[in-house]
Amino acid sequence: MMPLEKMIENLGFKEAWREVTKALSIGIERAFQDSQTLMCIQPHIDDTDVAAGGTIAKLVEEGKKIIYVTMTDGRLGTSDPELWPEKLAAIRRKEQEKAAEILGVSELVWLNYRDGELTPSLKAREELIHLIRKYRPDMIITVDPWLTYEAHPDHVATGLLASQAALFASFPHVAPGDLRDNLKPHQVKFIAYYWTRRPNTYIDITGYIEKKLEAVKAHESQFKSTWLQFEQLLKAYSRLMGKKIDVKYAEAFKVLKPIHLHSNIFSEDI
Ligand SMILES: [Zn+2]
């Protein structure tokens, strides 16, 4: 390949910017195909199923290994003051187990931080680094913590923690206790963000929309009373994303590599 400087030598600024961004994006378009083990790090029970359930069903069918890591216990997800938070947390865990079974996800990890109180702490980051070294995913799927106007602290914290862990898991002197436990540093290849304003990857889920809806519906405590409206909303959203790649239903992600997660002025445009 031609050296980057030579490539942009005779171009104007805008074209040169585009060329550099393109060069840094190589491999992104095949990220899902090239990943065998994928770890979904979600703020709450149900987030992955709602945002990426079709993609997960498709990946499972392709024989990929999927691990769900849920950061919080989901104890706040109700408008019913009579429903005790611990009881709700237990109900929601069962619902996630059922949804995972529908999608074919067999590995569920619970970090049990209190719903609504997650912060990007060193402790939580090191727990995720530990899990990345244990399960050795090629890709991490999580929520985009830089979504404009996102106010939910668990979502912002989860996206940040997952990004930091993806960046640091390959450094042997980070969380060195893992090495004493015989876990080796691990380099994640990709990180895919859902609920993002800057998607660069669209997955055709036309054949998986029914399975996705079935999995989301399993979260009865969250969606039972408003299911018909929510189902319509999910279908409309997938239909909208499908228009981008000329299919009926799609899910959208922004996929980056770890090198894009630090001091990289092109990441937003990738
Ligand atoms: Zn959530």
Nearest alpha-carbon partner for 223 in 239, 236, 234: 234
The residue with greater pLDDT, 80 or 261, is 261
Whether residue 1 has pLDDT greater than 80: no
Residue 21 Cα to ligand 1 middle (Å): 31
**How does pLDDT run across 157-198, given as a tens digit for each residue?**
999 999 999 999 999 999 999 988 899 999 999 999 999 999
What average pLDDT score do residues 147-151 get?
Answer: 97
pLDDT of the residue at 141: 99
**How does pLDDT run across 204-260, given as a tens digit for each residue?**
999 999 999 999 999 999 998 899 999 999 999 999 999 999 999 999 999 999 999
Which residues have their alpha-adjacent CB atom under 5 A from ion ligand 1? 43-44, 47
Among 69-73, 118-122, 179-183, name the one with the lowest average pLDDT.
179-183
Residue 243 Cα to ligand 1 middle (Å): 26
Element housing 93 (H / E): helix 85-103
Residue 13 Cα to ligand 1 middle (Å): 40
pLDDT of the residue at 164: 98
Whether residue 134 has pLDDT greater than 80: yes
pLDDT of the residue at 107: 97
Residue 212 Cα to ligand 1 middle (Å): 17
Residue 44 Cα to ligand 1 middle (Å): 5
Residue 26 Cα to ligand 1 middle (Å): 31
Start-end of H helices in 201-267: 209-217, 220-223, 227-244
Residue 20 Cα to ligand 1 middle (Å): 35
**How does pLDDT run across 10-69, given as a tens digit for each residue?**
999 999 999 999 999 999 999 999 999 999 999 999 999 999 999 999 999 999 999 999
Query: Sheet harboring 139-143: ordered strands across?
Result: 107-113, 65-72, 37-42, 139-143, 190-194, 250-256, 201-204
Tokens of 177: 């206790």
Residue 195 Cα to ligand 1 middle (Å): 11
Whether residue 83 has pLDDT greater than 90: no
Residue 202 Cα to ligand 1 middle (Å): 21
Is 242 in contact with 249 (CB distance < 8 Å)?
yes
The residue with greater pLDDT, 66 or 84, is 66
- Which residue in the block uniquely carries the two structure tokens 């992104």? 28
pLDDT of the residue at 2: 82
Q: How confident is the model at residue 82 (pLDDT cuts 50, 70, 90)?
A: confident
CATH 3.40.250.10 fits 30-269, yes or no: no
